[in-house]
Chain A
Amino acid sequence: DGGITQSPKYLFRKEGQNVTLSCEQNLNHDAMYWYRQDPGQGLRLIYYSQIVNDFQKGDIAEGYSVSREKKESFPLTVTSAQKNPTAFYLCASSIGRNTNTDTQYFGPGTRLTVL
């Protein structure tokens, strides 16, 4: 899982609560990403960031928010507006901005369960 850490590994949330998933990388990468993984649906992009203090919505951004105040950190908040948040969440990073040949490096993931 390289130099990307995600915490916690497991997270339980009650309905109506906001929760924040942590993602930290020590690879000095500019770009960072958040994906959601559901069985049989592959990876779906939630948000991505190409540079500090900038981020863009992905395919399924509704009910989620992010910040990128530091190069090494890209936390994801799952808000109460996300109707079905139970899933496996993956953070990734890659070297550059707008570089199509870059390899993505993934963290170990956080499994979120709504009770």
Chain B
Amino acid sequence: AQSVAQPEDQVNVAEGNPLTVKCTYSVSGNPYLFWYVQYPNRGLQFLLKYITGDNLVKGSYGFEAEFNKSQTSFHLKKPSALVSDSALYFCAVRFSSGGSYIPTFGRGTSLIVHP
């Protein structure tokens, strides 16, 4: 079975500091990994995804994520946080074979960026 974990319910960071939102997964095959962001009372917006190739993936709004196969992680990062980055972030995983193509979502991490 596929699963994904976001170990932190909330992450607090000061504006201008780097931020990291963590995601780990459990897999029986090769994973396809996604990050989405949700602003209050809105739908999810796609940020970036890892399919294959370079382990460092760059996405929207200056976000990037690094795929680490040995640690089964796909942490979301940004070098300098903005107050407007405050939102709910979801990691999702799909698998290349042997599993459902339906994505599994983490429970979400609330990012709060303080001025």
> A: which residues have CB within 8 A of B?
1, 4, 6, 33, 40-43, 45, 48, 58, 88, 90, 92, 98-101, 103-109, 111
Bitwise interface map of B from 8 to 52 toward A, beta carbon under 8 Å scored 1, else 0: 010000000000000000000000101010000111111001010
**Does A45 contact B107, Cβ atoms closer than 8 Å?**
no
- Given A40-B9, A101-B51, A45 and B43 contact (CB-CB distance below 8 Å): no
**Does A103 contact B102, Cβ atoms closer than 8 Å?**
no
Query: Which of the residues B42, B90, B96 comes within 8 Å of A43, measured between beta carbons?
Result: B90
User: What is the bound-complex CA distance between A105 and B11, given in angstroms?
Assistant: 25
Bitwise interface map of B from 61 to 101 toward A, beta carbon under 8 Å scored 1, else 0: 00000000000000000000000000000101011100001
Question: What chain A residues lie within 8 Å of B94 (beta carbons)?
Answer: 100-101
Shortest distance in angstroms between A92's beta carbon and chain B's nearest beta carbon? 8
**Does B34 contact A107, Cβ atoms closer than 8 Å?**
no
> B: which residues have CB within 8 A of A?
9, 32, 34, 36, 41-46, 49, 51, 90, 92, 94-96, 101-103, 105-108
**Does A42 contact B101, Cβ atoms closer than 8 Å?**
no
**Does A42 contact B43, Cβ atoms closer than 8 Å?**
no
User: What is the bound-complex CA distance between A1 and B44, given in angstroms?
Assistant: 8
Question: What chain A residues lie within 8 Å of B102 (beta carbons)?
Answer: 33, 45, 48, 58
User: What is the bound-complex CA distance between A61 and B46, given in angstroms?
Assistant: 25
Question: What chain A residues lie within 8 Å of B105 (beta carbons)?
Answer: 42-43
Question: What chain B residues lie within 8 Å of A90 (beta carbons)?
Answer: 43-44
Shortest distance in angstroms between B35's beta carbon and chain A's nearest beta carbon? 11
**Does A100 contact B90, Cβ atoms closer than 8 Å?**
no
Residue of A nearest to B31 (CB): A100
